[in-house]
Amino acid sequence: MRRLLNLIRNENMKMFRQMSTYIMLGLLIVIVIGFGFISKNTAQPAATSADWKAQLTQQNTDMQASLTQIQTAGVAVEQSTASIDKAMKTNTYRIEHDLPPEQGTTLWGFVTQLAGAISLVSLFTIIIAAGIVAGEFNSGTIKLLLIRPLKRWKVLLSKYLAVILFALDALIILFVASFLVGGIFYSFGGVSQPYLAYTNGNVTEINMLWHIFTTYGYACVNLLMMVTFAFMISTVFRNNTLAVGISLFLMFTGNMLVTLLSKYTWVKYVLFANIDLTVYTDGIPVVKGMTLNFSLLVLAAYFIVFNIISWLVFTKRDVAA
């Protein structure tokens, strides 16, 4: 166990002695700051707070009217009803509990927007994952690495865990940076603001930090799957560029692919049809009848298959590089 930890320390040392690692993490911070400046300069001036209750009441009346229209027209009733219902109930909750709506951007709004940058974290982690095994083969260092009293699976596991740790580092940096930048630009006053969640027809207040945490969590499903995939390609083909290329290609075209194939029911077994779990809280799954449990099972199956392939290839391979 101690030597496994030592292995992870080694991987970290190698990772953080390379300039490219710092460039990636630095870029993440630069992007957060840059985004802060842009959103500050283009932000709408905040509306006067006095009449927000009247505004929301007016909104609700309008929405009620359009809802009636939709129901008589009978087009896309289900989806529209759900989203309008959610908005109306949230407004009512705000009026009743004296919670002004988020005007323009707030600290938490900024942090939530920047959760989109998790795809950037995915990109960077894919680059790391693509290089961590292939790199040892390319430089020939794999030989001196594997002639130690540690079985190959331990070496591979340490590399995988080091990649996951890098992703965690990057996520923490993203969160802290966007929190600080958001606070500086939009004041830290908004920290205590709650998040209004809409579940099963009821509006509930939840801790904002928990909300951000779940947002990150959902985004990390994609990250974890694509990084594991890149790691597998890197291990199987020992080719850094190929691993980055294929992973990024799939990451960006996966959803499109699923949409194109959505008329076939087997598409529900495709990884990308299951990678966005938010459809089960507010959205519609690609194929009707898919459930959260189904998606979790499919994801687990892919995850296990990717790792088993990496493991088999790495432990059985003749190292003749």
Q: Which residues are near another protein by CB under 8 A?
A: 2-3, 6-7, 9-10, 13-14, 17-18, 139-141, 143-144, 146-151, 316, 318-320
> How far lies 223's CA from each of 126, 172, 185, 192, in Å?
8, 14, 29, 29
- The angle subtended at Cα 186 by Cα 195 and Cα 121, nearest 5°, is 70
The residue among 2 and 263 lying less far from another protein, judged by its C-beta, is 2
> How far lies 157's CA from each of 154, 160, 216, 240, 307, in Å?
5, 5, 24, 18, 10
In angstroms, rounded to a whole number, what is the distance separating the alpha carbons of residues 56 and 172? 36
The residue among 13 and 301 lying less far from another protein, judged by its C-beta, is 13
| Alpha helices for 74-200 (secondary structure H) | 77-97, 107-114, 118-139, 142-146, 152-186
Q: How far is the CB of 150 from another protein (least distance, A)?
A: 6
The residue among 139 and 293 lying less far from another protein, judged by its C-beta, is 139
The residue among 3 and 97 lying less far from another protein, judged by its C-beta, is 3
CB of 211 within 8 A of CB of 107? no
CA-based nearest residue to 235, from 160, 139, 145, 141 = 160
In angstroms, rounded to a whole number, what is the distance separating the alpha carbons of residues 183 and 111? 9
Q: How far is the CB of 23 from another protein (least distance, A)?
A: 14
Instruction: Provide the residue type at 310 as one letter.
Output: S
The residue among 7 and 230 lying less far from another protein, judged by its C-beta, is 7
The residue among 157 and 286 lying less far from another protein, judged by its C-beta, is 157
Q: How far is the CB of 146 from another protein (least distance, A)?
A: 6
The residue among 149 and 289 lying less far from another protein, judged by its C-beta, is 149
In angstroms, rounded to a whole number, what is the distance separating the alpha carbons of residues 203 and 200? 8
Q: Residue 224 has which token pair?
A: 């974890």
CA-based nearest residue to 107, from 31, 38, 36, 29 = 36
Q: How far is the CB of 12 from another protein (least distance, A)?
A: 11
Q: How far is the CB of 137 from another protein (least distance, A)?
A: 11
Q: How far is the CB of 248 from another protein (least distance, A)?
A: 25
Q: How far is the CB of 40 from another protein (least distance, A)?
A: 39
